Structure 1
Amino acid sequence: MPLDIETFDENSDEELRGLTNAEKVVRFLADNNDKAYTPSEIAARVDVKQNSLGTVLSRLEDRDLVRHKGDYWAIGEMESVRRAYDLHRLIDSLNERYGEEDLDDWRAHAAENEPQ
C-alpha cells in the first residue's frame, strides 16, 4: 500500500518500518521508567492487543527487559535494556548490509555437518 508523502517525510526510517509489540512495550516502559503499569494500561498506551500482551511481557521478563510485582509491570534493569537495544541495532545493520540469514539454511547446513 502506498504511503502519503507527508507521512514519509515526517517519520524516521524506524517508524516507517514499524515496531514489534515487544519494541513498543519496552520503549513505553523505558520512557516512563518512574512508573509501573498494569497490562491493560500498557495495552491501551502502546496500541497492542490485550490478549497478546501477556505473552509479550513474559518473554521480555525472561530476557530481563521488564519486571513485575503483582499486577504491575515496569522496565527492567536499564543496562540490560541498553545491551539488548545495541544488539538489535547491530543485527539490523548487518541485515541491511549483507541480507537476512535464512534459519532453514542454517539448520540444513548444521545437519549436514553434524558428527556421526
Structure 2
Amino acid sequence: MFLDDHDDRAWKAATVADRLGLETDAVSSIRSRLKERVLVRHKRPYWAITDDKERLQDAYQLHRYHERADEQYGAERLEELRPDEMEDVQ
C-alpha cells in the first residue's frame, strides 16, 4: 500500500522500512513476494508499484476477500495445524 500511495516515485527498501517502522529484511521479504506476483517494478536499487492497474486492482480484491473471510471465520493459524492429528480424506 505504501508504494501504491506513493506511486509518483521509486523507493529503496531501507527507506520504505524506515518510513513504515519495519526491519529492512521484512520489507525485502514482502518485496520479493510482490515481485513474484508482478506487482512491483525494480530497477536496482529502486522499487515502485506496477503500472498494471488491472493486476493491482485484482490483488487488492483478493486481499479484501481474505480479510473478510478472516473476519467471518477467524484467521487461519497454520502453525497450530498438526497433520498427524488430521483425519485422512479419501
TM class by shorter-chain length?
0.7 to 0.9
Match status 1:113 vs 2:84: no
Deviations 1:44-98, CA, capped at 9 Å, x for gaps = 2222112322222111111112120111100022322221111111122122223
**TM-score, with structure 1 as normaliser:** 0.61
The alignment-based identity, stated in percent, is 36
Q: SS where residue 48 of structure 2 aligns? A: strand
41, 44, 62: which one aligns with 1:87:
62
Amino acid at match of 1:91: H
Q: Could you tell me which runs of 5 or more consecutive residues in structure 2 were left unpaired when the two chains were aligned.
A: none
The structure with the greater share of residues assigned to helix is 1
CA distance in 2, matches of 1:101, 1:83: 22
Q: How far is 1:102 from its partner?
A: 5.7
Which structure is richer in relative contact order (CA contacts within 8 A, separation 6 or more)?
2
* More deviation, 94-103/60-69: 94-103
Cα-Cα RMSD: 2.4
Q: Which runs of 5+ in 1 are unaligned?
A: 1-26
Match of 1:79, SS state, is: helix
Relative to the length of structure 2, the TM-score reads 0.75
> Rg: which structure is higher?
1
